[in-house]
Amino acid sequence: MVKTSFQLYNSIMNDEQLVQVSRVFKVTWQQAYRYIFPKDQLLNLDEREWQRSLLQPGRHNIIAVSDDNQVLGVASYGRARERTANRGELMTIYVLPKYQGQGLGDVLLTKAEQGLHLLNYSHYILWVLSDNHQAMKFYYNHGWKTNGVIKEKIILGKKFR
């Protein structure tokens, strides 16, 4: 396996990067959730939804960009979307399937955790679909633990925990 070189940016710099980041979300969802959601729903995901959420006030985005200016991965973090407590939230980490397993997710996670620390959050939360075993293993291997809170949410018309 050839390691890919990349640069990290602490924000989305332009509209082209915004489009590429939302495409990373879509491609990663199509791969990660292929056994969870129907194929036709995954094929028809609207990237504009992610573009709007990426630009929300208080959301910080770290992007990994290759030497040829292609976005390879993204991490988003900020104040918890559920504002019941003063906690930070790791909102997303997505890496294009082709670049997974090369340490890019590790770097993005570390940078997001550092960002949450710089925002003075002493506690961080993260929500993972209970069927997403690969993601749960990734976070567990990086020291994240479940607190036992189970949240139900409707995603693409289906109830998840």
Candidate ranges 119-123, 145-149, 157-161; pick with highest mean pLDDT: 119-123
Q: What is the pLDDT of residues 128-141, one digit of tens each?
A: 888 888 888 999 99
Place of tokens 């995954």: 42
| Gap between the Cα atoms of 66 and 73, Å rounded | 10
Please report which helix (H) or strand (E) contains residue 59, including its range.
strand 59-66
Under a CB-based contact definition with an 8 Å cutoff, are residues 28 and 94 in contact? yes
What does the pLDDT average to over 40-46?
A: 90
Q: What is the pLDDT of residues 8-29, one digit of tens each?
A: 999 998 999 999 999 999 999 9
Residue 125: phi, psi to the nearest 5? -125, 165
| Gap between the Cα atoms of 75 and 123, Å rounded | 18
| pLDDT value of position 4 | 78
